[in-house]
Amino acid sequence: MKSILISSFWFFLISATTAHSGNCIHFVLPDQGSVIDIPSCTLQVDAKCENIKSVEFQARYFKTNNDTPVISSLGIISRPPFKLVWDVTEIPNQLLSGVSFLAEATFSKDSTETVKREGVFFTHQKITRPSLIIPYEFSGTKELLADPIVFTPPRSAMSISGSVYWNERDLTVIVDVKDPLFYVNMSRESLAGLGLEVLIDPSSGRKPYPHKDVHIYNVPLYGNAYRMIYKPVYDDSGGFTLASKSIPGDFNVSIEKGDFKGFKICFPIPMKEFSDSLPKSFGMNLIVKTLGEGNQVVRTPWVKGNILEAYSPFIWGTTSLQPKPFFKNRILMWTIFFISGFVITFIIYQILLSLKKPQKIIQFERSEAEQQQFDRIKEAIESKVTQKNLSHERFAHELKMSHKKLNKLIKKFTGMSFHNYLMFCRTEIAMERLRSSHCSEASIAESCGFSSVHELEKYFFKFHRTTPFKYRSQQQIS
């Protein structure tokens, strides 16, 4: 969300309908920038001319779970005072961009004059804000904490979890996205559109739109993290714009990516960003950006709402910092250790170290052995991938291992079964031949080991969300 421009929406309508010279009408109510928290709104224009036949009021707003605005005629007033009351009982809260009003005056000679009033916000509907207690944890922790935040992912095969912790140095946000369709070598543009947004309102002002005191950080999978700053701008014509600018920052971001696994982001925000300390309670939202079914960027917020509402501090969750636990105070704990006796502490430490070390070595060796086995399997599959009728059982027999163990190892490292991984490897070869040759799809399907063109198209769409024909038309080297 780079910027939100509201005024341009009405430009054509105003230009097309304004045929009367002079400023005969102007908005009196509602005030520009007002926040209305009751289920009604009074609209009124002041008329300076006497030959006005009628004034029609219109409103542009958003319905629930719909990111496309609607325009509704609120009524026509045929005599002064040109005033009406709009019942908004059934209208959802109007946040971020607010409601835009239009008043069109018709004169005795059927000429018209139009004025607008944008940037009017409604918070009349009650909402329930989630709460989160942020625990204390030492700086540098990159793993999810106990009882993580669980997001609702855009796809059933995907899972999104997150954790937030604080210490004297930083406020750290961790998100872990498990996605079997994610791959590291996608384009830089695609990676730059994915990642994490952290939205924090230290003042807990609960305004309907972000302002200069709100901290919004964007952490892409490609490129540097930066902060967005928003500023509401009202002009004399009644227009409203939420202007924005990005500020680069020097953040120590950690990003891990894995083919067919997903990505994990660890984003520590230095306390100096908040004047060295955060209040005990503040508003916050987290938005994770992933790929949807059609390879478009999908924003998944912690605090749900439509695309616009997710950026409004009014609905963000209420977060509070858990007091620093007694056992997390390192100076005090070291004092206790010395009082208890340096010798006893040293002996216990040595015993624990001797017990843990063999277990770590065994786990490392086991992991290294499995990696070597998978590398051997992967190399064998790549050498036979174009052979038709390559069965699971025959391939396992050639590798001298059980088909269950073979499938288990492939599943562990790729998240796929043997058959699906084989088909995926074939589609990778087909992609390169579609891009670099002019052979027919049937010829490519035959040379890659597919039983038919239909099988090629089936698995190509399954793994790459497009057809071979569309891929070739977009990617083929001329």
Whether residues 194 and 78 fall in one domain: no
**Residue 108: which CATH number?**
2.60.40.10
Torsion on CA atoms 104, 108, 111, 112, rounded to nearest 10: -10
The string of DSSP letters for 62-90 reads --TT--S-EEEEEEEE-SSSEEEEEE-TT
C-alpha span between 57 and 73 (Å, rounded): 6
Number of domains in the chain: 3
Whether residues 135 and 117 fall in one domain: no
Whether residues 68 and 40 fall in one domain: yes
Does 343 map to a domain? Answer: no
pLDDT tens, 315-343?
A: 999 999 998 886 655 555 556 656 766 77
Return the axis-axis angle of helices 468-475 and 418-436, rounded to nearest 10°: 40
Does 135 map to a domain? Answer: yes
Note the pLDDT of residue 345: 79
pLDDT tens, 400-426?
A: 888 888 888 888 888 898 888 988 998
Domain with 250, as residue range(s), is 131-327
How far CA 231 is from CA of 4, 226, 234, in Å, comes to 10, 17, 10
The string of DSSP letters for 179-209 reads -TT--TTS-HHHHHH-EEEEEEETT----SS
> Which residues of the chain register pLDDT less than 70?
1-22, 65, 306-307, 326-338, 340-341, 353-366, 478
H helix and E strand count, the chain: 10, 22
Task: Tell me if the pTM is above 0.85.
Answer: no
Whether residues 158 and 273 fall in one domain: yes
**Residue 291: which CATH number?**
2.60.40.1190
Note the pLDDT of residue 385: 84
The residue from 122, 154, 179 where one domain ends is: 122
**Residue 394: which CATH number?**
1.10.10.60
DSSP state of 310: G
